[in-house]
Amino acid sequence: MDFSRIEWGSVADLVSGLDSLSAVIVALYLSNSAQRVKLRGYVGLRVLTIGEEPMTDLVSLSVTNIGNRSTRINVISIAVGIFSKREAIIPITYSSLSSPMPCPLSDGEEAHWYIPLGEGNAWLKDLCKDFIITRMDVRTLHFRIHTSNAKYLELRPEPPMRAALLSIVEGNHG
């Protein structure tokens, strides 16, 4: 190969152009990343005690905004299935313990919602009558925290909650 015939000016222009393009792509990515809503949370079974009142079994949902962009939580839903997904909205009633709905969240703020299970885990049993019907439904169950930014955070229930649902489903079909 004869390097004396290569026009090095054209090669330098090409390399310069690729550098400029990659700089623009990185800048756009970083800008978009900074504007993304970033949430973290959990959902599981808890026992609540307040002073001398009796203990209450409940489902606890918690969400923390770990990003720089503020958002608002509008709806909480549950979804099951892989190919034919089903989704249902969970009505959140206001209580002195739970965050309001809709709930604004700025950087670092947390929101908590509590759903009382009732006598003998009645809420879970009702859920397993009409919505969570099979073992696969329990495996694919996710709680979705919907934001005002048209995004949602998907939370997988903690193992004790999945185990409780699985025992109810197996009892219904056993």
Instruction: Please state the three-class secondary structure of 47-105 as a single string.
Output: EECCCCCCCEEEEEEEEEECCCCCEEEEEEEEEECCCCCEEEECCCCCCCCCCCCCEEE
Over 70: is that where the pLDDT of 6 sits? Answer: no
CB 59 within 8 A of CB 114: yes
Over 90: is that where the pLDDT of 42 sits? Answer: yes
Position 4 scores a pLDDT of 64
Per the prediction, the chain carries an average pLDDT of 87
Position 3 scores a pLDDT of 61
Q: Is 112 helix (H, G, I), strand (E, B) or coil?
A: strand
Over 80: is that where the pLDDT of 69 sits? Answer: yes
**Which one is predicted more confidently, 31 or 55?**
55
Position 75 scores a pLDDT of 93
Domain ranges across the chain: 7-33, 37-173
- Tens-place pLDDT, residues 138-148: 999 999 999 99
* Prediction pTM value: 0.76
**Quick one: pLDDT band at residue 48, thresholds 50, 70, 90?**
confident
Range 37-173: architecture per CATH:
Sandwich (2.60)
Position 1 scores a pLDDT of 58
Q: What is the mean pLDDT of residues 150-167?
A: 93
Tell me how far apart the alpha carbons of residues 124 and 135 are, in angstroms, rounded to a whole number: 14
Concatenate the DSSP letters of all residues of 134-159 into one string.
SHHHHHH-EEEEEETTS-EEEEPPPH
Measured N-to-C along each axis, helices 122-130 and 159-173 cross at an angle, to the nearest 10 degrees, of 60
Position 49 scores a pLDDT of 82
Position 31 scores a pLDDT of 65
CB atoms closer than 10 angstroms to residue 106: 11
Over 70: is that where the pLDDT of 168 sits? Answer: yes
CB 125 within 8 A of CB 59: no
- Tens-place pLDDT, residues 86-114: 999 998 877 788 899 899 999 899 999 99
